[in-house]
Structure formats: structure tokens, C-alpha cells
A and B are shown apart, each in its own frame.
Chain A
Amino acid sequence: MSAPFVIAVPAKGRLQENAARFFSRAGLELIKPRGARDYRGTIAGLGGVEVAFLSASEITELLGQGMVHFGVTGEDLVREMIPDADSKVILIDGLGFGHANVVVAVPQAWIDVHSMADLDDVATAFRLKHNRKLRVATKYINLTRDFFSAHGITDYRIVASSGATEGAPAAGTAELIVDITTTGATLTANALKVIDDGVILRSQANLVAARTAHWGESERATARLMLDRLAAEARGRAFREVRARLADNHDAMLADAQKRFRVEVPFGNATSSGMVTLHCPPGEVHALASFLREQGAEAVTVADLGYVFARDNPLFAKLEAGLAG
């Protein structure tokens, strides 16, 4: 039982840089011992863990087969490539990068088409008029089929596309597309528009666990350690530390602050001298600082947090619940 714990991360491009930065911030430094071209690596100071550098679609495939324990990949690929994905993998957490939407886009010239209901009608009319079906170019065959089916659309054909999908309508190989978009600029440049209710999936890079991988004691221990660091880092990013010395009668005031500014009180209420440490969401910091001074605080300091290690480990809890379910 000395098989390593395997985590698969993207090998190339922006996704790789973002993933490496993400793990590094959590104190999990990905190392390629034999140089940058190496496709196998380790994590500094964490024995028994193997890092596999692969393409996002390979990672998704291996997750579906349970050949790796953890992987970093887009939710779009998970939903497209793994049939009945939720029975095979657990989406542990969105990582805050690799944002993209999978959308239905039609030519801008179709001024009569705004909704999927319009598209349904156009598809049937097109089939009756031309005696063939509307063609949808996409690499998301399963997502497209399920989404169109949910909207009752039957008069269409899928044309599998492996690249430059947005060019298909202009090239005459399809009438419309289902593709991934971040800003919509590529679609606009190709005279396409997104249908109002045509967003199939809002995707981002996810940390994904394979249900069918081997999860023994040691794998769970490794996962717990990694997820503990990732959770601590995530919590550190989600809050600012606010310190202040309060005037009298602070208990009621703190309760008020918790309600109004979504503040947490990690170390309990103020000390006898009135000192208190608060964790506050970044967006509420200024409002909280004003509030505390109005309530009599002399000075308020705000600092970034590196990590917040709490007793609970929500990410590991999610993994455990998923593996049990």
C-alpha cells in the first residue's frame, strides 16, 4: 500500500501559472525535480505525494477513472467529459481563476432570436423550409445535448468542432455554436451574440477529488493536510484582521458589528482592557473602522492575514461527505 497520493495539475499556459501560484500561496510548493520540462513532480516537504503535470482534458479523464486523487480542471470539462459527474467526482472548491461561461451563440443578424424559445421555433422552421436541421458547432457535445433537450429543442444537429468553433457560422459549416467565452470579445469579432437565457454553465477552475480513487488512511491523511492548508489560505484571503481597543459596554456593540459587517470574532470578546481582534470581509473594512470609532475606539488597525487555521476544516469535511455519499 505504498502507492503515492497523486494530484494532477495543468501542464501549460495560464492555467498552470495560476494553479502553481494557488498551491504556493497555501504553502504547497510544486517542484519539478528534473527541470521545467519534467511531467512528474513533488510537493516541497510533503512526502508520498506525486504531482502529475497534464493537459486539462487528460486530468479530467483520469479523475473520472479514479486514476488520480486530486486534480485541477475546469468545471466545463468535468460536466462535459464525465457522464453523471457527481457520482464520480467531488468539486471541492472553486479556485477563483479560469473563469469562463459555456454559452449558446447565434449570428448577430438573427434579430428575431433572443431566447432559447426563439431558437426552438427557428430550428423547426428551418427544418421545414430547408429539409435539413440547424447545425450547432461545438466541442461540448454532452452539455449542448442536455441543455437543448431541457429547452425542448429537437430540430438540430451537432457538428463536432475541435478548434476555432466561433468561425464555423462564417465558414458555413454550422448555423450557430456552443462555446466557451470569457469576455465575449471573440464572439463579437465573429459577428455572434449570446442568447439571453443561453448560458449553459458558469465555469471556473476547480479542485476536484475522484471518488473512485483509492482512499485509505494515508490518502485521507494527506488530503486532510493539503485541504487544511488550502482552507487556511482561503480563509486568510477572505478576511482582514481588525484590532481595536474598545470603550465600555462592548459586548452588545460587538454583537451589533457581527450582524452588520459579517465580522467574526476568532479569539472571543474583548479583554479586560478592551482589546479585541476581529476578522472582517475586505469590503466591509472601512465601514467597520468608522463604526468602531463612532462607538468610542481610539484607534483601529487593519492588516492582511496570511493564514487562518481554524479547528474545523470545511474542505476536508466536504471531501469526507462526498466519499461517504
Chain B
Amino acid sequence: MTRSLRSRLIVGMLLGMAVLLLAADTTIYTVQRRQLYRAFDDTLLSSANALVLLVHPGPFGYWFDSEGLARLLTSEIRPGALFQFWSDQPIDILPPRPGPDSMPSEPGPPGPAWEDRPPPEPGFRGPEPPPGPPPFRPPPEDAGPLRGRAPGELVVRSPLLNGRDLPRLDTPSGQARFEKIMMPGGGRGRAVGVQLQFPARGPGPRRLPPVELTIVVAASTVETEKQLSFLGALLAATALGTMAISGGVSWLVVSRGLRPLATVARKIAAMDETGLKQRLLGCGVPREIEPVVDQLNGLLGRLDEAFERERALTADVAHELRTPVAEVRTITEITLSRQRDPDEYRQALAETLDVIRTLQGLIEKLLVLARLEAGQMQAELQSVPLQPLLAEHWAQVRNRAAARGVTFEDRCPPEALVSADPKLLEVVLANVLSNAATYTPDGGRISAEAERVRDQHRLSIANTGCELSEGEVARVFDRFWRADAARGKSGLNCGLGLTLVRRAMEAMGGQAVAGVSQERCFVLTLTFQAAEGLG
């Protein structure tokens, strides 16, 4: 099957249509054919019924009314029909009119239509026989076959037969039998056979013996077949024409219907990563394509956000790297611009060193973060006691905190063993404690507690004096996000610390969550897997 939607739609539609047309045309053809043949058979049967009435009982046996036949040939017999009579008893073929006494007084044999037919009306004369076929002349009294006595003897046959025979169709008495036959003159035809029992009549020696009569009427079906083949051809031609036209129309309709897809495709093709702000407009798009367009728009939105984040990150990284470099350069250039005291040089070098430390810390954080995010850093988990590490890292920032009157309350139980990568855990604790030491206001308090919840250890580090709103707390893990108040403070904080903490915790199978307590404390909760499970 072709992959073109248009071809599939059209082929599918045409197939369906073909099946439908075939069914409809077959039905029409079959019904028409049956009706034609039924009408055909009806005329054959009524011709046979009419012929039956030509046989009358007479004083010397049954006789055949040849005059009546001549009349029937122009009226009740189907034009062009051939017929033939057989009888098992000799039957007279007489031109004279039968007398009223010769009417059959007994009901005919049981059978269909011809049962109650009245005999031909006395005195009725049909029109003169047409000049075409030779008028029926009763054969002489002793004419051979017509007076014969052998059973199944031929009585009379249609003049059109010209001496040829129709097949004799035997059938139970009183029933009609229809057959397809080959016409004696060639060509296909249909025939009906009717068999009748005429009862014995009269008393004593003048008693008429019973007679069994067989009548076959046949007619050529060539005309009917012609009509049927014309009908068939007409139906086929109509069907083919309909298919062709609907194929063309549906090609146009489907092409027109698929045009919005092409439009969408063009719009998508025209997009690159710089054009992600555009959306595929939904207007004019059919309902069927709307979900696709909606999904695409959603995808574009997400891509745009991702690109935007990357762009913002690049800008942030650039900003955060350039600013310290600008500081070093400015300090150095201004210092060198003139002769200075050794103290001034010393001061400038000390400040330069400070800036370089900031820069180094930033670069290291960026590298660790990049490795964590690229999946290049696998956490090597082992059982680590939490409390000693906490104390060790606090010692590194203790002086800085103490200078501002910030105290630390370590309520971490010494037995807490967590599953962690020692290097990553160091990164986490160093950043968390350094952050706390930096952002806790003068005279504030930092506290650490750990609790065991099922198979996890939760380490909460809280510091007083949090001025962040709920929305701001949600952003503390964003790269380079910093609360306003934090900007301008010196130190290693550059808006990457908490991002790094979260990534490192995730790499160790734990998590980091930030919140604000009711006492306006900033609480960072680190969840570790308990180490016992590691054995």
C-alpha cells in the first residue's frame, strides 16, 4: 500500500464504492432478469393455457379445435412462440365449431390456472389469421400421425416449427415445467411443458377413453438476452463512469482537504531553533489536524522553554565568569597605572587572590554540575557516618560565621549512617553549610538535625532570618538564581551551590527539598537512603 495519505483515502473510497456499486448493480440486474424471465414464462404459460382450451370432448372422443387455434395464433399465443401437442389417445382435429353439448361437463384435472377457464365462447370468431404463416388446415381424416394411436403421439404442432420437433417435457399432471432449451431453428430459448389428464366420459361402448395430453410451448430468449446484456452493459458503464468521476472529485476534495497539512508542514519547515517563539496557528486547521497542531505547539513550547533555559544559562555563566575576570583586570590595571606604596600593592594582590578564589570555586562547581548533568559522574555509594562529616565541614566556615555572631547547633545523632558517595557528600555539605553561614543574618542561628524515617535518613539544616517568599523558595535550586538581598555579597556563593546540592543528592539516590518554617527559618531537607541496607 502506498504511503500517501491521499492515495490511501482515494483507493479506500473507490474500493468501498466499487463494492457498493457491484452489489447494487448485481441486485438490479438479478431482479430485472428474474422479472423479465417471469414475464416471459407467464406468456409461455398463458399461451399453453390458451392452447389447452382448444381440446374439447366430442361424441367420438376428444377433438382439437383447429379453427380456435388459428384465432389464438393472432391473440393469446405469444408472438413467435412455438408449440407442440402430444396425446396418448387419438384426437380428431376438426375445423367445425363444437356444439354446446360438447362442452366438458366435468371439471378439468386439478392444476393451476387453466382449471377454471371457461371454454371459448360459442360464436366467437377471432380475426383472420395473418397471411405470414400458412393457415392451419386440418389434415384429412386418415392423415397418418394425427390419427395415430400410439402413446406419446404427436397431435399438432406449431406451423412455425416447419416439421421440426420441440423437446417433449414430461411433468406430473397439472403442473407446469419450465426448461431452457435450444430452439429447433437455432438460438437459445425457454419452454414450458404442461401435462393434462382428460377423464373418460360417457356410458357404455360410446364411452370416451381418458386422454393424457402434453403441451410444450417454447419461445426464443434471444431478445430477452439482448435486453439483459444491454442492461448489464449500461450498469457496468454507469458504474465505471461513477467511479472515474468520483475518483477525480475525491482527488480534488482530498487534495483540498490535505492542504492544511501542507501548510502546517511548510510552517514547520520554515522553523529553526531561533523561531521557536512562533506557534502554528490553529485557525483554519481542520478538527482532525487540530490535535496534531496542538501537540506540535506544545512540543514547540517545551523546546522553546528548554532553549530559553539554555540561553539564559549561557548568559548567566558568561556573566558570572566575566564579572570576576573584569574585577581582576580592573584591579591590576588601576594598580599598575602609577607608582604605589607596597601596602597598596599588597592590598591589590590580596583582593585579586580573593577574586581568583571565587572564580576557581565557580569553575569547579560548573564542572561538577556539568559532569553530574551529563551523567559522567557516577555516585559510588558506601556507608558514611553523617555527623563527623557535618562537624568537619562546619569547622571550615565556623570562623566566618562566628565573626558575625552566627551559632551552630548540631543535633545530628552520631550513629546516623547514610548511603552516600563521600566526594559528593562533601560537595553537598560544604555548599549547604557555606550557604547557611553566608545568608544567616548577624547573630542568627543554624541548626542541623537528622531523623530516621523507615529506611531513610532526613538531615534538616535550618537557618534563621529567612526573607524569601514561598515562590522564591521554590526557585532556590535554579541555576544562578539569587535572592536580591544576596547580590553584592562577597564569597563563593554564585547561585550554583544549591543546584549542585540537588543534583548531587539525586545522583546519590536521595533528594533535596527547601522550605520556610513558621519561625521564618530557611530549612533545607536532605533525604539519604539509610546505609544498613548496603551491608
Check if A and B associate. Answer: no
